[in-house]
Amino acid sequence: MAAITNSLSLKHTLSIGSPQTNLLTRTRPSSTSLSFRTFHRCYASYANENREYVIVGGGNAAGYAARTFVEHGVADGRLCIVTKEGVAPYERPALTKAYLFPPDKKPARLPGFHTCVGSGGERQTPEWYKEKGIEMLYEDPVENIDTEKQTLTTSSGKLLKYGSLIIATGCTASRFPDKIGGNLPGVHYVRDVADADALVSSLEKTKKVVVVGGGYIGMEIAAAAVAWKLDTTIIFPEDHLLQRLFTPSLARRYEELYQKNGVKILKGASIKSLEASSNGNGGVASVKLGDGSIVEADTVIIGIGAKPAVGPFERVGLNTDVGGIQVDGLFRTSIPGIFAVGDVAAFPLKIYSRISRVEHVDHARRSAQHCVKALLSAQTNTYDYLPYFYSRVFEYEGSPRKVWWQFFGDNVGETVEIGNFDPKIATFWIESGKLKGVLVESGSPEEFQLLPELARRQPPIDKAKLQNATSVEEALDIARESLQAAV
């Protein structure tokens, strides 16, 4: 999902050092001392035939890691992917966008969005993995790891051997407790294709939808529900939509857009419970708020964030401040031969000198590629990620206005907002006289291409001059001039 989490914090980080590099040497069979064929025979008793490299997880990071292995010519007969899902890795952002569109709005479906089409690459269907000699173990999550013996045990009891292990398990959706109705029929959480299928089935027969959560998930799902022409309400406890990123002024523009599309917004509201129907089917019938008021609903979607899916890998070493598995700038954990990438990795965010954990598809792709390149080559450059987030809503066929924004950098300091949202708007974050982050809604391709350069170089900028800009185009020209002046 494009920016698939509400637990993502752009500001909540800890400035600490990387893991001790002397503990993080790579371990994999040597082509000079032990041939792969001999290695294969030595471990013939293990369930995975391709055991030199093992990836645990079946999301974006796994798909892009697989492509990088193929690009280095070492996938065929040497790579195994273990996933709890029943399908090959896919571009997860689609699940809260086009996947949820009604049949007459051209919904997305597999195999259309298998990785790596999201970045313009070849579509990696199940047949692609077979052709590349990559062993896929579906619907069999890992439940235990023995780091001394370098083995994994799956839920079905399979024993897998690895030489190098990449943990790409992503996140799991935060859930409401059962005691307040979090598991009632008609209550949905969206993290995988099965979840999205179940939600589509509910949308086909529902009349009133409540979306809990005002972040990426909530905004994208509510926009998709509009395409079904359903009675839709968003409920969240914060003061405004996407509070982790949007300014109050920017959020107000989006809230007005949703309301124009018929979506009711209840902000600053707490939820006491989800109430079951009294007609005997036991399904959800309403949402009871903290003030005692009732919102009727026969479908409720919970989008209140996510938690890193560390599972049996806690012993590998966790970061207690941002969550997830602690890694260094090459995605090495504290245990030689074990790596972690994507949503589950707590890594050094080099540009801001702090440790972060980023739940976003762009980071999943890039971290996987960087990790595999470091594992397979002499590359020693540390990961230098620039935070990037985006969302697209109301993109269904016939929508009066399709919305797509992009943000690069850090949302710290003072803000300057330029534009009236219709047709476009931009927000600039300035700290100590330097441009730290920028968001543009409805920008042109050329304007979007400028944003990462601005955020990475952080040029000094004249705030007063920027405030006097009469359009987004003029503001971006001022920012572009600041780049040239800083050379």
Residue with the bigger pLDDT between 430 and 18: it is 430
Q: How far apart are CA 186 and CA 181, in angstroms?
A: 10
What pLDDT was estimated at residue 66?
A: 98
Is residue 425 a part of any domain in this protein?
yes
Q: Which domain holds residue 464?
A: 402-486
Half-sphere CA count of 125, side-chain side, radius 13 A? 5
How buried is 36 (Cβ within 10 angstroms: 0-12 exposed, 13-18 middle, 19+ buried)?
Answer: middle
Average pLDDT (364-391) is 95
Residue 41 has pLDDT above 80, yes or no: no
pTM: 0.89
β-strand pairing of 325-326 with 345-349 = parallel
Share of residues in the chain with pLDDT > 70 (%): 91
What pLDDT was estimated at residue 47?
A: 83
Is residue 215 a part of any domain in this protein?
yes
What pLDDT was estimated at residue 486?
A: 81
Domain count, the chain: 3
What pLDDT was estimated at residue 278?
A: 87
DSSP 398: T
Residue 468 has pLDDT above 50, yes or no: yes
Is residue 267 a part of any domain in this protein?
yes
Q: How far apart are CA 211 and CA 119, in angstroms?
A: 29
Residue 363 has pLDDT above 70, yes or no: yes
Is residue 37 a part of any domain in this protein?
no
What pLDDT was estimated at residue 51?
A: 79
Which residues are CB-contacts of 376 (< 8 A; sequence separation ≥ 6)? 68, 69, 72, 74
Q: Which helix (H) or strand (E) segment is 372 a member of?
A: helix 361-376
Do 407 and 370 share a structural domain?
Answer: no
Query: In residues, how long is the chain?
Result: 487
Q: How far apart are CA 339 and CA 328, in angstroms?
A: 9
The CATH number for 151's domain is: 3.50.50.60
Cβ(248)–Cβ(427) under 8 Å?
A: no
Do 355 and 285 share a structural domain?
Answer: no
Query: In the beta sheet, which residues pair with residue 231?
Result: 208
Q: How far apart are CA 394 and CA 351, in angstroms?
A: 33
Which residues are CB-contacts of 44 (< 8 A; sequence separation ≥ 6)? none
Is residue 146 a part of any domain in this protein?
yes
Do 164 and 101 share a structural domain?
Answer: yes
Q: What is the dihedral of CA 244, 248, 253, 254, to 10 degrees?
A: 20
User: Which amino acid would we find at residue 401?
Assistant: R
What order of strands is seen across the sheet that includes strand 354-356?
325-326, 345-349, 354-356
What pLDDT was estimated at residue 136?
A: 97
Cβ(375)–Cβ(409) under 8 Å?
A: no
Do 340 and 436 share a structural domain?
Answer: no
Cβ(227)–Cβ(318) under 8 Å?
A: no
Q: What residue spans of 261-359 are helical by DSSP H?
A: none
The model's confidence at residue 247, banded by pLDDT at 50, 70 and 90, is very high
Residue 35 has pLDDT above 70, yes or no: no
Residue with the bigger pLDDT between 271 and 2: it is 271
12-16, 328-332, 430-434, 454-458: the lowest-pLDDT one:
12-16
Mean pLDDT of the chain: 91
Is residue 246 a part of any domain in this protein?
yes
What pLDDT was estimated at residue 6?
A: 30
Task: Tell me the pLDDT tens digit for each residue of 151-204.
Answer: 999 999 999 999 999 999 999 999 999 999 999 999 999 999 999 999 999 999
Do 458 and 312 share a structural domain?
Answer: no
Task: Tell me the pLDDT tens digit for each residue of 271-287.
Answer: 999 999 988 788 999 99
Show which of 269, 304, 339 is a domain's final residue.
304
Residue 244 has pLDDT above 70, yes or no: yes
Residue 21 has pLDDT above 80, yes or no: no
Q: How far apart are the first and last CA of the chain?
A: 37
Give how far the C-alpha of residue 81 lies from the chain's centroid of Cα atoms, to the nearest Å: 20
Query: In the beta sheet, which residues pair with residue 236?
Result: 267
Average pLDDT (418-437) is 96
